[in-house]
Amino acid sequence: MKETPEKRKSWFYQWFLNNQLTVILINVFLVFLIIYFFSKIKFVFDPLNQILGITMPPVILALVLYYLINPLINVLENKFHVNRIISITFVFIIILALLIWGVMSLIPFVQDQIDSLVKNWPQYWNSLNKSLQNMFSDPKLHMVRQRLVQTNASITKSFEKSMDQILPQTVNNISSAVSVLTNVVVIIMTAPFILFFMLKDDRKFKESIVKVMPNRIKKSVGDMLSEISQSLSSYITGQLTVAFWVAVMFFVGYLIIGQRYALVLGIVAGILNLIPYIGSTLALVPSLVIAAFIAPSMVLKVLIVFVVEQTVETRVISPIIVGNKMQMHPVTTILVLLVSAGMYGLVGMVAGIPIFAILKIIFTRFFNWFKRNSSWYDDEDAQNLDTESETNPDNEKKSQENHK
C-alpha cells in the first residue's frame, strides 16, 4: 500500500516540527547562540557596566536602609497619622544623632582595640604555633609536626610576599587609593538622598513600572514585584537583626569569660554572621588564637561561649526573626553559597542568596505562566495551577499589606 503525502507530512511533522525534545533543543541552541553573540560584542556594554558600577553601590546601600527604616515610617504614618515627610525627617535626625554619638564615643574605643590587636597579632600567632608544636612533640607524631611546620612556613612566606607586593603598589598607586576613598565618600553622601526619595515615593516606583506593562500582565507584574520586595525585606531585616544579636551575645560572652578585645571580636562575629552557616565559625578563629595565647582554659571558655551562642541563635533568634521566609532548602543554600563565593568571593557569599531568591520568584512565575498557556501540559494541570493560585492568595495578601 502506497503512503499518502499526508502521512509522510504527518511523520515529518510528528518527529521534527511537533516533537517536544526537538523544540527544547532548538530553544537551548538559540539561547547559547544569543549568549555567544553577546559575548562577542561585550565592548558595547562597557559604558553600561561603568554606569552601573558608579550608581549601584549607593543605590544598594539606600535599598538596605530602606527596608530597615520603611516599616517604622509606615507605623508612624498609618497608626499615629504623622505626615510621611515629617516622619522621614524625624527618623533621619535620630539616625544622625546616633551616628554622631558612635563617632564620638564608640569608634575611638574600637579603634584602640583594633590597633592593639594588629600590633599583638604576630605574637599571638607565634604562641599558637609553639603550642601546637609542643602538642605534637611525640616522636610518633613526627610527620604531623613536620607538616605543621611546613604549612606555617608557607603561610608566613606567602604573607611576607604579599606584603612586599602590596607596599610598593600602595606607594605607587596613591591616586588609586585617593580614588577609592573618594568613591566611598560619594557613596556615603549620595545614599541618604536616594534613601529619602525611596521612603517618600516608595509606592510610586511599583506603579511606574506596572504602568508601562501591557494590560494583560499588569497584575502579574505587580504581584511579582510585591513578592520580590517582601522577600528582600524579610531577608535583609532578618539577617541584620540576627547579626546584631549575634554580635551582642559574643560581646557579652567574651566579657563574662574575660576574653581580650571582646568588642572587636563581637563586631567581627556579627559582620561575618551575614554569611550563612559559616560566618560565626569563621569569627571563632581569631578568638581561639588569642585565647590560646592567654591560657588553655580560655580556649575551652571561648568554645563554651560559641556553643551557647549557636544554640541560642539556631533555636531561638533565627526561628523567631527569620524563620523559613526565603523558602530555600539547606542544600540549595549551600550550593548557592559555593557557586557565588567561587564567582564573586565574599560579596557573592553575602549577596548570592537574595539574588537567587529574586531569580527563583521570576522563574517560578514565568514557569506557571508557561504551564497555563502551553499545550505541553494538559488542562487538568493548568486547572490545578489556577485553583492553587485562587485558594492560596498569599502573594496577593502580602501585596496588599505591603501597599498599606
Residue 236, number of CB atoms within 10 A of its CB: 17
How far apart (Å, rounded) are the C-alpha atoms in residues 310 and 306?
Answer: 6
Identify the pLDDT of residue 13.
63
How far apart (Å, rounded) are the C-alpha atoms in residues 116 and 111?
Answer: 9
pTM more than 0.85: no
Query: Which residue ranges make up each domain of the chain?
Result: 209-325, 326-388
* Cell 538559540 found at: 30
pLDDT above 60: residue 164 = no
* Cell 554606569 found at: 51
Burial readout 273-297 (b: 16 or more C-beta within 10 A, e: otherwise) = bbbbeebbeebbebbebbbbbbeee
User: Residues 358, 364, 366, 370: what is their CA dihedral angle, to the nearest 10 degrees?
Assistant: 170
Rg (CA), the chain: 28
pLDDT above 60: residue 180 = yes
Which residue type occupies 190? T
Contact 272, 283 (CB under 8 A): yes
What does the block give as the cell for 108? 575611638
pLDDT above 70: residue 113 = yes
- The confidence band for 136, taking pLDDT boundaries of 50, 70 and 90, is low
pLDDT above 80: residue 99 = yes
Identify the pLDDT of residue 199.
93
Cα distance between the two ends of the chain: 73
Q: Which of 32-41, 94-103, 192-201, 370-379 is least confident?
A: 370-379
Q: Mean pLDDT across the stretch 111-135?
A: 77
| Number of DSSP helices (H) and strands (E) in the chain, helices first | 16, 0
Contact 210, 225 (CB under 8 A): yes
Residue 129, number of CB atoms within 10 A of its CB: 18
Contact 232, 354 (CB under 8 A): yes
What does the block give as the cell for 265? 571580636
How far apart (Å, rounded) are the C-alpha atoms in residues 49 and 56?
Answer: 10
Q: Closest Cα to residue 225, out of 212, 237, 238?
A: 212
pLDDT above 60: residue 2 = no
How far apart (Å, rounded) are the C-alpha atoms in residues 293 and 280?
Answer: 21
Identify the pLDDT of residue 170.
44
How far apart (Å, rounded) are the C-alpha atoms in residues 277 and 402?
Answer: 29
How far apart (Å, rounded) are the C-alpha atoms in residues 167 and 104?
Answer: 31
Q: Which of 172-181, 306-315, 348-357 is least confident?
A: 172-181
Percent of the residues in the chain that have a pLDDT greater than 70, as a whole number: 74
**Range ranked top by mean pLDDT from 16-25, 45-54, 393-402:** 45-54
> Do you know the residue count of the chain?
404
What does the block give as the cell for 23? 523544540
Q: Closest Cα to residue 250, out of 322, 312, 294?
A: 312
How far apart (Å, rounded) are the C-alpha atoms in residues 246 and 209?
Answer: 38
Angle between helices 218-257 and 330-373 (to 10 degrees): 170
- Between these two residues, 270 and 103, which has the higher pLDDT value? 270
pLDDT above 90: residue 378 = no
pLDDT, mean over the chain: 79
pLDDT digits (tens, 9 = 90+) for 314-327: 888 887 776 666 67
pLDDT digits (tens, 9 = 90+) for 353-367: 889 989 999 999 888
Contact 272, 282 (CB under 8 A): yes
- The confidence band for 54, taking pLDDT boundaries of 50, 70 and 90, is confident
